[in-house]
């Protein structure tokens, strides 16, 4: 699967949650490397929009960038924003696992009700394609955040079943932890390193890892390759929390503090129950829908069938990043390392 950005030339693209880490990087990629006609950032924080407009101003000589204040909880506002839009990237979500455990209804309103609003607004506005960002925590969820994203994934997949083949198509992209994203452990470790002590929840903990740039390219690539109803999963390396701690602050002492509410030791991106519907390619997996109304679209899909007992687990993954690789990645992708 080679990435073809020409699909965005002359198109109007909207990113929900566009002032977040992903949205900012994706907007920059589209402005620099495509001839997108209009790029709309839909989010609810006017200050972050102002900061983003200022930081990207020198890349927007054609004045293609627009900002639209709104919340995905507001269907009428979404419908207004989606007018004449060709492609939507749905990145808006509440994401912090501990916050979700104590504020479940707020996460449901944004992550579940907001997903349904995006689907309805896109369908009613004639949007051609929607790609929704998911997370490894949506697979076999043990926390409220993961449960809301699983529900969101199901909504986006099933939405393809009630629309005709000529109307809006929806797909989902599921990947792991993003290097240095807001709220991730890396900035936390860097700050703690000043004290000489890092706190680790459990030394066995592993996570799938992807850089922000890789995540952006993967999402954009899915617009070219999507059929409608699938979940795209990239093949990623795993990281052990202790290796990461030593790569960031090799001279610091590490204290174990115990797992937080809603955390797993290892993450899973494809469960054994999804294996029967999963196709493997050199760089990705595709989980095909088992929805009877849309499964027929995928009958002729190429790719290798995975083993019936296959599970894509960060703890049993065949590729782990070592400390030297981690140090190199951190220096290349994080300005504060």
Question: pLDDT, tens digit, for every residue of 132-169?
Answer: 999 999 999 999 999 999 999 999 999 998 765 568 99
Which pLDDT value is given to residue 317?
Answer: 96
Question: pLDDT, tens digit, for every residue of 235-247?
Answer: 999 999 999 999 9
**Is the residue at 166 inside a domain?**
yes
pLDDT at 121 over 80: yes
Tokens standing for residue 26: 């994706």
Which pLDDT value is given to residue 1?
Answer: 44
Q: How many CB atoms lie within 10 A of CB 204?
A: 13
CATH number, position 77: 3.40.50.720
**Is the residue at 153 inside a domain?**
yes
Sheet holding 238-240, edge to edge: 177-178, 206-210, 238-240
Query: Where is average pLDDT lowest: 119-133, 157-171, 230-244, 270-284?
Result: 157-171
pLDDT at 227 over 70: yes
Higher pLDDT, 67 or 332: 67
* Mean pLDDT in residue range 87-115: 96
Q: How far is CA 190 from CA 9, 20, 45, 243, 329, in A?
A: 40, 21, 27, 14, 15
pLDDT at 61 over 50: yes
Which pLDDT value is given to residue 310?
Answer: 97
Catalytically annotated residue among 12, 95, 129, 137: 137
**Is the residue at 95 inside a domain?**
yes
> 3-state class of 243 per DSSP?
helix
Q: Model-level pTM? A: 0.93
Structure-derived torsion over alpha carbons of residues 194, 22, 2, 295, reported in degrees to the nearest 10 = 120
Higher pLDDT, 291 or 93: 93
Beta bridge partners of 42: 16, 68
Tokens standing for residue 290: 């088992």
**Is the residue at 197 inside a domain?**
no
**Is the residue at 72 inside a domain?**
yes
Higher pLDDT, 185 or 252: 252
- The DSSP line for 215-259 is HHHHHHHHHHH--SS-EEEE---EEEHHHHHHHH-TTSEEEE--P
Which pLDDT value is given to residue 292?
Answer: 81
How far is residue 71's CA from residue 145's CA, in Å, rounded to a whole number? 18
Q: How many CB atoms lie within 10 A of CB 166?
A: 7
Q: Are 317 and 311 in contact (CB under 8 A)?
A: no
Q: Look up the domain containing 39 and give its range.
A: 5-176+211-236+268-313
Q: Are 143 and 262 in contact (CB under 8 A)?
A: yes
Q: Phi and psi at residue 229, in whole multiples of 5°?
A: 115, -5
**Is the residue at 99 inside a domain?**
yes
Which pLDDT value is given to residue 167?
Answer: 84
**Is the residue at 77 inside a domain?**
yes
**6 counts as catalytic:** no
Which pLDDT value is given to residue 183?
Answer: 65
Question: How many domains, the chain?
Answer: 1
**Is the residue at 283 inside a domain?**
yes
Question: pLDDT, tens digit, for every residue of 185-220?
Answer: 888 898 899 999 999 999 999 999 999 999 999 999
């Amino acid at each position: 699967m080679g990435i073809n950005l020409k699909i965005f030339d002359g198109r109007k693209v909207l990113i929900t949650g566009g002032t977040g880490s992903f949205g900012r990087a994706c907007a920059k990629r589209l402005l620099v490397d495509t001839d997108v006609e209009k790029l709309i950032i839909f989010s609810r924080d006017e200050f972050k929009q102002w900061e983003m407009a200022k930081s990207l101003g020198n890349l927007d000589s054609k004045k293609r960038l627009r900002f639209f204040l709104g919340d995905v909880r507001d269907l009428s506002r979404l419908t207004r924003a989606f007018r004449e839009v060709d492609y939507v990237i749905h990145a808006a979500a509440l994401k912090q696992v501990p916050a979700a455990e104590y504020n479940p209804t707020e996460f449901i309103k944004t992550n579940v009700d907001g997903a349904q609003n995006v689907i309805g607004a896109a369908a009613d506005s004639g949007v051609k394609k929607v790609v929704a960002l998911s997370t490894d925590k949506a697979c076999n969820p043990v926390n409220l955040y993961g449960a809301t994203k699983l529900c969101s994934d199901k909504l986006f997949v099933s939405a393809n079943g009630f629309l005709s083949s000529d109307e809006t198509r929806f797909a989902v992209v599921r990947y792991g932890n993003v290097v240095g994203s807001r709220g991730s452990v890396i900035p936390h470790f860097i700050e703690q390193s000043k004290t000489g002590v890092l706190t680790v929840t459990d030394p066995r903990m592993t996570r799938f890892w992807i850089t922000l740039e890789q995540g952006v390219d993967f999402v954009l690539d899915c617009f070219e390759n999507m059929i409608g109803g699938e979940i795209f999963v990239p093949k990623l390396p795993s990281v052990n929390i202790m290796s990461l701690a030593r790569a960031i602050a090799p001279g610091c002492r590490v204290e174990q503090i115990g797992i937080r509410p809603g955390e797993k030791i290892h993450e899973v991106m494809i469960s054994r129950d999804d294996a029967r519907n999963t196709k493997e390619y050199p760089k990705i997996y595709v989980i095909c829908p088992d929805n009877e109304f849309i499964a027929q679209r995928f009958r002729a899909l190429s790719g290798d069938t995975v083993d019936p007992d296959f599970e894509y687990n960060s703890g049993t993954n065949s590729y782990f990043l070592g400390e030297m690789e981690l140090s190199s990645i951190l220096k290349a992708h994080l300005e504060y390392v």
